[in-house]
Amino acid sequence: MQCVVAGAGYVGLTTALVLVEKGHTVVLVDVDEARAQRIAAGEVPFHEPGVEPALKSALTTGRFSTGTDLAAPTVTADAVFLCVGTPARPNGDADLSFIKAAAKGIGRGVRRSNLAPLVIVKSTVPPGTTTDLVVPAVAKASRKSEGAGFHAIANPEFLREGRALEDARRPDRLVVGAFGAEAGQRLVELWGHEGVPVVATSPTAAELIKYASNAFLATKVSFANEMALLAASLGVDVYEVMRGVGLDPRIGAEFLRAGVGFGGSCLPKDLKALHRFARRRGKPLRLPRAVLEINERQPQEAIRLLEHALGGLADKSVALLGLAFKPDTDDVRETRALPLYRALRAAGARVICWDPLAVKNFQRLVGDPVDATEDLRQALTGRDAAVIQTEWTQLRDLPADDWKRLLRNPVVVDGRRSVDAAGLVAAGIRYYAIGAPLPPS
Ligand code: UGA
């Protein structure tokens, strides 16, 4: 099949590469010319395991190219995938301007096409967007109608950063929100995933499945964080509690890790968008707001533990370990490192930041000069305390004796349960974690 993918971010590039692996021919289009050229030269614009070799191999097939014009490749396409960003507006609404612009470009191509292509919305969009925005925009620019000149389908993506390629190659479900069963079946065949359950539904239901999935994941995390407060006050460890809870298959063990909260480009953004969307429809939801409020509180829990351990933060030197919103990425969007950094600075601490990949992105995010290093030992040397924000393996791999020897004052506050706590304690570290009993003073 001839495919066009609009948007060369995590979802777009990964989608394009998996389509090439499935034997299709793909043109990946991005409005950013430099980005499109870099990708054509084999360079991946972000850190994502496995993507660079997959890109290199796609480039050798002769079935993968990049460009900046959406209309021209759409003329001969069987399927066009919309993978552009839907960032949050300052008020929390999803910004659909990239979707609109891309839909227009696709429509201009559809106008000259004889193939009645599938127009597939993979971007995360508020329920109703495919029906109320994408279809009219493509129809207007193409002067053709849905179901005849093109077939619109909402086919949300569930991949995780850090495992994007694996997730896209082997999804746990394929949600196909089509207006007609035949078009939906064409998409299922195009993907050709074997043994993957298909949820065939309407476009609006497919869009809500995506929002509801992310909202539920975030709810699990905030639930664990609520229990963390109570557990610590009872002198028990929330990780033990959640292990006992998560063994119930109806609940599941995943996403019950308490800590400094969830970050990333999706969970916080989608929750805010869902909250505002529901309110605008006159159906305000109570959970998303509560889940976000709990999440905002969590970095403060780490600060509270640090203050308790050090008896105040003024003029203390603190290593902030991990800037990426999670390991195996250089992505700092909505990272909990930002509120932690700001709170530490506001309390008068001197902060040295460490991350193996995300230092530059974090410096850009903060704006002001940030004291930062990619050398973990340097970050720890002579500090009064360390606070862990990302569970990088480098932290677990550092011998306990090194933690003890390098830190001036052996205090570690672990916001992600990312190190061998017993080992550190045995080496003489005062180890604090969110949702755990305080160490003996
Ligand atoms: C999330 C979803 O997991 C994907 O299914 C979805 O496709 C994606 O958003 C998206 O909508 O594009 P991602 O943002 O890559 O994926 O990150 P997650 O692995 O979900 O982690 C999000 C945050 O939650 C991280 O900061 C992580 O540290 C935190 N987290 C996760 C916890 O604090 N506790 C947990 O138990 C699990």
Whether ligand 1 lies within 6 angstroms of the CB of 217 is answered as yes
CA of 264 to the centre of ligand 1 (A): 7
Instruction: State both tokens at 114.
Output: 């004889």
Whether ligand 1 lies within 6 angstroms of the CB of 124 is answered as yes
Write the pLDDT tens digit of every residue in 305-329: 999 999 999 999 999 999 999 999 9
Nearest residue to 338 (alpha-carbon basis) of 370, 311, 373, 294: 370
Q: What is the 3 state secondary structure string of the chain? A: CEEEEECCCHHHHHHHHHHHHCCCEEEEECCCHHHHHHHHCCCCCCCCCCHHHHHHHHHHHCCEEEECCCHHHHHCCCEEEECCCCCECCCCCECCHHHHHHHHHHHHHHHCCCCCCEEEECCCCCCCHHHHHHHHHHHHHHCCCECCCEEEEECCCCCCCCCHHHHHHCCCCEEEEECCHHHHHHHHHHHCCCCCCEEEECHHHHHHHHHHHHHHHHHHHHHHHHHHHHHHHHCCCHHHHHHHHHCCCCCCCCCCCCCCCCCCCCHHHHHHHHHHHHHHCCCCCCHHHHHHHHHHHHHHHHHHHHHHHHCCCCCCEEEEECCCCCCCCCCCCCCCHHHHHHHHHHCCCEEEEECCCCHHHHHHHHCCCCCEECCHHHHHCCCCEEEECCCCHHHHHCCHHHHHHHCCCCEEEECCCCCCHHHHHHCCCEEEECCCCCCCC
pLDDT at 32: 97
Cross-strand pairs, 26: 3, 64
pLDDT at 206: 98
Tell me the whole-structure pTM to 2 decimals. Answer: 0.96
Write the pLDDT tens digit of every residue in 139-187: 999 999 999 999 999 999 999 999 999 999 999 999 999 999 999 999 9
For 53, 107, 167, 232, the CA distances from 80, given in Å and listed in that order, are 24, 11, 21, 51
For 141, 162, 227, 275, 412, the CA distances from 419, given in Å and listed in that order, are 55, 20, 21, 35, 10
Residue 435 to residue 221: CA distance in whole angstroms? 13
CA gyration radius, the chain: 24
Mean pLDDT of 377-388: 98
pLDDT at 282: 97
Instruction: State both tokens at 221.
Output: 């995390």
Whether ligand 1 lies within 6 angstroms of the CB of 264 is answered as yes
Ligand 1, atom 32, lies closest to the CA of: 262
Nearest residue to 328 (alpha-carbon basis) of 164, 124, 85: 164
The residues assigned a catalytic role are 266
Write the pLDDT tens digit of every residue in 262-278: 999 899 999 999 999 99
Residue 179 to residue 199: CA distance in whole angstroms? 14
Mean pLDDT of 208-236: 97
Share of the chain above pLDDT 90, in %: 98
Ligand 1, atom 7, lies closest to the CA of: 158
**Left (φ > 0), alpha (ψ -120 to 50) or beta: where does 286 sit?**
alpha
* Residue in 225, 266, 291 to alter for ligand 1 test, most ligand atoms within 8 A of Cβ: 266
Is the per-residue pLDDT at 368 higher than 90?
A: no
* Residue in 84, 217, 334 to alter for ligand 1 test, most ligand atoms within 8 A of Cβ: 217
Write the pLDDT tens digit of every residue in 3-17: 999 999 999 999 999
Write the pLDDT tens digit of every residue in 10-66: 999 999 999 999 999 999 999 999 999 999 999 999 999 999 999 999 999 999 999
pLDDT at 289: 95
Whether ligand 1 lies within 6 angstroms of the CB of 83 is answered as no
